[in-house]
Amino acid sequence: MIMIIICDICFVKGIIGGLGMYSMISSKIVLPIGEEMEICSSEARNLTTAQINRECTIKEVKTCDEELKNFLFTLGCYKGETVTVLSVLGKNYIISVKDARYSIDKDLVEAIIV
């Protein structure tokens, strides 16, 4: 028997043959039934990897550009705030922060660590 897990993008830790392995997947995992697997969410990742319509808490805004950091702060993107990706249209992301919706490009989204 096998177990198939389908997931858009997630970080997983699989215990296969006694070895712990971390990997990022974007399609499916096929494991024999009885093998141990757990979702690992402690890895730092940017907002581009967030699931659509799922709230995430911002851990930090990681950029060397102080002007970019200040701009994201004015939108409400700072440590501890919740953000939701509503949709992705090409390189533009529609996000929701503090009951407001913004369209920002991928460069800005990559600076937001969740």
* pLDDT at position 94: 94
CA dihedral 90, 50, 52, 4 (to 10 degrees): 110
Same structural domain, 57 and 90: yes
pTM: 0.60
Same structural domain, 21 and 70: no
Same structural domain, 60 and 92: yes
Same structural domain, 27 and 54: no
**Residue 24 belongs to what domain range?**
2-39
DSSP letter, residue 17:
T
Name the E strands within the chain: 2-6, 10-16, 19-25, 28-32, 36-39, 55-57, 60-61, 82-89, 92-97, 100-105, 112-113
User: Which CATH number covers residue 101?
Assistant: 2.30.30.90
* Tens-digit pLDDT string for the chain (114 aa): 444 444 444 444 444 444 444 444 444 455 555 554 444 444 568 899 999 999 999 999 998 889 999 999 999 999 999 999 999 998 999 999 998 999 999 989 999 999
Same structural domain, 23 and 76: no
Same structural domain, 53 and 104: yes
- Give the chain's domain count: 2
* pLDDT at position 82: 94
Same structural domain, 56 and 89: yes
Same structural domain, 30 and 54: no
* pLDDT at position 44: 64
Same structural domain, 109 and 56: yes
Same structural domain, 24 and 79: no
